Chain A
Amino acid sequence: MFGAGAMTNSIPEIRGTDLMFVIGSNTTEAHPIIAMEMKRAKKNGAKLIVADPRRIWLADIADLYLQLKPGTDVALLSAMMHVIVTEGLHDRAFVEAHTTGFDDLVASVQTATPEWAETITEVPADDIRQAARLYASTEKAGIYYTLGITEHSHGTDNVYGLANLVLMTGHLGKEHCGMNPLRGQNNVQGANDAGASPIYYAGYQRVDDPAAQAKFEAAWETPLSPTPGMNLNVMMKHMGGLIRGLFIMGEDIVLSEPNTERVEAGMNGLDFVVVQDIFLNETTRFADVVFPAACFAEKDGVFTNSDRRVQRVRKAVDAPGEARPDWQILVQLAQAVGYPMPDYQHPSEVYSEMAQLSPKFSGISHERLEDNVGGLQWPCPDPEHPGTATMHTEGPIIGKAPFQTIAYRPSEELPDSNFPLLLSTGRTLYHYNAGTQTRRASGAIAKQPQNFIEMSRRDARKRGLDDGQLVQVSSRRGTVIAAVNISPRMKRGCVWMPLHFPEANTNRLTNDVGDPVTQTAEFKVCAVRVQPLVQAAK
Chain B
Amino acid sequence: MTETPTELTLTLDGEQVHAKDGETLLDVCRRAGKEVPTLCAEDRVDPMGSCRMCLVEVEGQRRLQPSCAFKVQAGQVVQTASDKVKRHRQLLLSMYLADHELDEDDLPRERGTGNQLRQHVLDHGTGPKLPAINAPREYRMENNPYIHFDPEACVLCNLCVRYCDEVEAVSAITLAGRGAKTTIATADQKGLLDTTCEMCGGCIAVCPTGAMTEKPSLASDFREEEVVRSTCNFCGVGCQVNLHTQDNKVVRVTSPPAGETVNDGNLCIKGRFSMEFIQHEDRLTQPLVRGDDGALHTTTWENALKVAAQGLMGVKEKYGADSLGFISSSRCTGEENYLLQKLSRAAFGTNNCHQCAAT
Contact = CB atoms under 8 A, between A and B. Distances in A.
A227 B305 CA distance: 28
Contacts of B182: none
Interface string A253-285: 100100000000000000110100111100010
Q: Counting chain B CB atoms within 10 Å of each CB, which of A43, A194, A520 scores highest?
A: A194
A291 B334 contact: no
Interface stretch (B118-126, B150-158, B263-271): B263-271
A440 B280 contact: yes
B312 A302 contact: no
Given A188-B355, A432-B274, A312 B286 contact: no
Interface string A189-216: 1111111111101100001000000001
Given A32-B198, A196-B328, A440 B276 contact: yes
A150 B279 CA distance: 35
A272 B346 contact: no
B4 interface: no
A246 interface: yes
Interface in A158-194: 181-194
Interface stretch (B15-23, B33-41, B53-61, B230-238): B230-238
Contacts of A287: 288, 290, 296
A207 B305 contact: no
Contacts of A438: 270, 274, 277
A461 interface: no
Which size class do A's interface residues fall under? Answer: 35 or more
B304 interface: yes
B207 interface: no
A225 B277 contact: no
Interface in A298-346: 298-307, 309-318, 320-327, 330-334, 336-339, 341
Interface in B302-332: 304-309, 311-316, 318-319, 321-332
A323 B283 contact: yes
A442 B337 contact: no
Contacts of B237: 11, 31-34, 182, 305-306
B72 interface: no
B335 A309 contact: no
Contact of A323 (B280, B285, B333): B285
Contact of A316 (B228, B260, B273, B333): B228
A288 B311 contact: yes
Which size class do B's interface residues fall under? Answer: 35 or more
B334 A232 contact: no
Given A243-B325, A311-B231, A194 B334 contact: yes
Contact of A295 (B278, B296, B313, B327): B278
Interface in A10-53: 11-12, 28, 30-34, 36, 39-40, 43
Contact of A313 (B239, B330, B333): B333
Given A196-B355, A327-B333, A303 B276 contact: no
Interface stretch (B77-85, B87-95, B173-181, B244-252): B244-252
B262 interface: yes
A186 B330 contact: yes
A322 B351 contact: no
Nearest to A520: B358
Contacts of B134: none
A40 B263 CA distance: 13
A36 B277 contact: no
B317 to A, nearest CB: 11
A185 B357 CA distance: 8
A108 interface: no
B193 interface: yes
Contacts of A186: 231-236, 238, 330-331
Given A202-B341, A253-B356, A443-B269, A189 B285 contact: no
Contact of B287 (A224, A248, A291): A291
A288 B290 contact: yes
A191 B334 contact: yes
A191 B236 contact: no
Contacts of A147: 359
A197 to B, nearest CB: 6
B159 interface: no
Nearest to A302: B334
A376 to B, nearest CB: 12
Given A184-B235, A229-B322, A374 B359 contact: no
A430 B334 CA distance: 26
A313 B260 CA distance: 17
Q: Counting chain B CB atoms within 10 Å of each CB, which of A39, A220, A333 scores highest?
A: A333
Contacts of B105: none
12 contacts: A36-B169, A183-B359, A191-B357, A198-B351, A224-B346, A232-B358, A253-B356, A279-B283, A313-B333, A333-B305, A375-B238, A432-B234
State the 5 A-B residue pairs at the shortest beta-carbon distance, nearest first: A321-B285, A305-B238, A183-B236, A301-B333, A250-B329
Given A187-B332, A305-B262, A323-B283, 20 more contacts: A187-B236, A245-B312, A250-B332, A289-B304, A290-B289, A290-B296, A290-B304, A291-B287, A292-B283, A297-B233, A297-B278, A313-B231, A314-B228, A320-B285, A325-B336, A333-B343, A374-B260, A440-B276, A446-B144, A518-B358
